[in-house]
Amino acid sequence: MNNVTVIGSINLDRSIRTPRMAKGGETIHINESFSAGGGKGANQAVAAKRLGADTHFIGAIGEDDAGKMMMELLTEEKIDLSGVEKLLRTSTGQAYVIVSDDGENSIYVLGGANMQLAPKHVESHADLIAASNWIVAQFETPLDSTIRAFEIAKQNGVATLLNPAPAVDEIPTELLKLTDLIIPNETETEILTGIKVTDESQMQKAAVKLHSLGVKAVLITLGSHGTFYSYQGETGIVPAFKVKAIDTTAAGDTFIGALSSKLKPDLSNLTDAIRFSNRASSITVQRLGAQPSIPYLNELD
């Protein structure tokens, strides 16, 4: 069993399901609204835990009901929350998720406490990182804290996984040099490398660019087409499972969490772990919401 520490965001997601996206200035009736656990970091931790990893979390909540609710939900998951700080006079992260009947989604995020996660706080939980097989990070918490976490990981021989989401134009080379495995989706890959991933040869070009910046392994998630990989000169695509998607929210997060629970830190089972993670995400896309849609290990048979 892998020991995984996720550093990242905790959000309360407020979602609406609508027949279609409204145009600017238009008012339309929607099908339903609901609240559920979310945040890229928390979703990835939930996926890692449900899919078999011993999971620890480093993050921040505010002093409010949303923070209380998220702590209760993550405690029920049996994730170690000793690295979660409650910040005074700050609100917990919130995301407003709009999903249309054709499966399209838009997300608006209010970072709140997530944006105040400081390197000092990460340092005070260095022991969690040092005892892990994998440390996993995204871009919904400050960059300097992620860099600090990855420095501590590398000093202790811990493998690092970066999910560069939401997309940024440029990642500091300092962080890429500390990254063993990077997993962007197609849009994030294009923004990061300037290369549009229209076919496999373009994916290979994008991977070469990311390798040249210091990253050992590159995966690109391709939605319903599966996942591209590039590692030690070998490349390929592991196809997705054919399912009918109704809400892809947290598909990427499920993939990342699943992979961190299954992948050996020496990457010797890479394609098997990708297949496992594609399978997990294919279940997530058939359900509504972020954390409620993430499957448990016994559902993957």
What are the residues whose beta carbons fall under 8 Å from the beta carbon of 163, sequence distance 6 or more? 40, 44, 136, 137, 138, 139, 182, 183, 184, 252, 253, 256
Give yes or no for residue 281 binding ligand ATP (CB under 6 A).
yes
Closest of 266, 256, 272 to residue 50, by C-alpha? 256
Site string for ligand RIB, 261-290 (x = CB under 6 A): -----------------------------x
Give yes or no for residue 100 binding ligand ATP (CB under 6 A).
no
Kindly tell me which residue out of 46, 70, 253, 276 binds ligand RIB, with binding defined by CB under 6 A.
253
Burial (CB count within 10 angstroms: exposed 0-12, middle 13-18, buried 19+), residue 214: middle
Paired tokens of 242 = 């054919």
Give yes or no for residue 226 binding ligand ATP (CB under 6 A).
yes
Catalytic annotation, pick one of 80, 253, 266, 301: 253
Give yes or no for residue 44 binding ligand ATP (CB under 6 A).
no
Of 38 and 83, CB closest to ligand RIB: 38
Q: Which does 255 bind (CB under 5 to 8 A by kind): ligand RIB, ligand ATP, none?
A: ligand ATP
Paired tokens of 163 = 């999910």
Q: What span, in angstroms and rounded, lies between the C-alpha atoms of 238 and 254?
A: 16
Active site residue 253: yes
Phi, psi of 193 (to 5 degrees): -105, -15
Closest of 5, 7, 273 to residue 148, by C-alpha? 7
* Window 236 to 265, contacts with ligand ATP (CB under 6 A): 240-241, 243, 245, 248-253, 255
Please report, as ranges, the residues that interact with ligand ATP according to CB under 6 A. 165, 185, 221-224, 226-227, 240-241, 243, 245, 248-253, 255, 278, 281-282, 285
